Structure 1
Amino acid sequence: MKLLTFNPFRTLGMPGISYVKPDHMFKKIDEIRASDVLLFPEKWQVNSLVYGLNKKIFPSIQSIQLGFDKIEMTRAFWSIKPDLMPYTEIAGSSKATVERILDTFPFPFVAKEVRSSMGKGVFLIRSREDFLAYAEQNDVLYVQEYLPIEKDLRVVYVGNTVVSAYWRIGGDSFHNNVAQGGKLSFHNIPDEALQLVDKTAKALGIDHAGFDVVYANGKYYFLEFNCLFGNQALVQQGIQIEKMIFNYLQEQFPPLVPPTTPYRHIS
């Protein structure tokens, strides 16, 4: 099986893998055509690779496209079950919409930029002024009820299984992300949350993601998932994610073996 990666840092140690810079994609089109599986393409490459060249990619097209955009991700969650996420509204930023949201959501509530990660682009709205400032900077409003939590659960899903899960605690008093100062805990991981992630990932066709899950109001909710997640906790656990990816690819895309008996033409 010929593997080609567009992101060498996420495929370190994989045997027999070649590398093409994303920007050189069309200069190296013959090398790409000759490969069996293409790993970690950038979002802008995906449609050309999957629909134009009919290539197999990893992560899956669902992982990349849904993980890139919170709106599409949220709608995908809604399609499975309406309450998989905290109450959320997605709307334009007209004055009428802004006023309606202010009338609907009690303070504090959460507003997010559509494309962000590591806790960036997520705002705790405490006042009318906070929301007006957010709305002025965003053409699409992504607004969510505030859940009073002190920690969230990151569940790492690779291939067709959960490979790691850990609590992120504390942080900067609102964000629990490790990038925002959150602390890690690998204890008391709830099976119910892991089962929810496994079921949802399989339903959506997600094969490489870090899911953010919280517990509030007596149930588990998804906040989002990131297709390209941090690996600090995985390193701390001694998990070699590249080996897991390689083994999964070997299972999913076994090398083509020529038939031992030649085909006979039957007239």
Structure 2
Amino acid sequence: MLKDKVAYITGGSKGIGLGVAKSLLEQGMKVAISGRNLETVIAAAKTLEHEDYVLPLSSDVTVLDDEKDVISTILDKWGRLDVVLANAGVGHFAPVDQMEEDSWKQMIDTNLTGVFHTLKASVEALKVTEGYYMTLASLAGTNFFAQGAGYNATKFGVVGFTQAVMLDLRKYGIKVSTIMPGSVSTYFNDNEPSVKDAWKIQPEDIGKLVVDLLNMHPRTLPSKIEVRPTRPDLK
């Protein structure tokens, strides 16, 4: 069902993005991954099996033209686009009275405007294939916490944006979902994944979830998926 379909993942050089790429490649899909630093993305691509099915690309999701160029490159190489995962994100955490304006703007531009740019650049290609657009939100998109004003604002925004987009695009046969993980073992917020993170969701778990969504019957759409560690008491 998924063999030879084409996916694009932003923020695909590590963490959840790379984990999803691995899972899709195991299904026989072709996968483009992007990040701001092309050398980093190329290095990540070389760690993946089925490297011939991987297209490393450079893009800053805060720049719409970058995302348009990426989509054009994917279509030129593979002729179609079936799945898009808007995964790129950043986080800065501080009490609101101490938060720097630059930190606020970077989160808004990357986590929220970047998601819009990725959709804007890819939506016409997804109409052709009746494809699937996914965003990577967070449980922070429904649960607010101290020192998270900026991050909460972006993830609440991503959840609302994605749900409205789902209503706009389903008439074209495009499925739209937002995935809202809790704690995941990634490099996010300067974490270094290790055995201490064994209790957390692993990137490959999100990859399996994405595959399950893609294999679901076309008549059925889980539009908002919350996923959390089973045993946070083990941390």
Q: TM over 0.5: same fold?
A: no
TM-score, structure 2 normalization: 0.32
The answer to which structure, 1 or 2, has the higher relative contact order (CA under 8 A, 6+ apart) is 2
The structure whose residues are more often helix, as a share, is 2
The structure whose residues are more often strand, as a share, is 1
TM-score, structure 1 normalization: 0.30
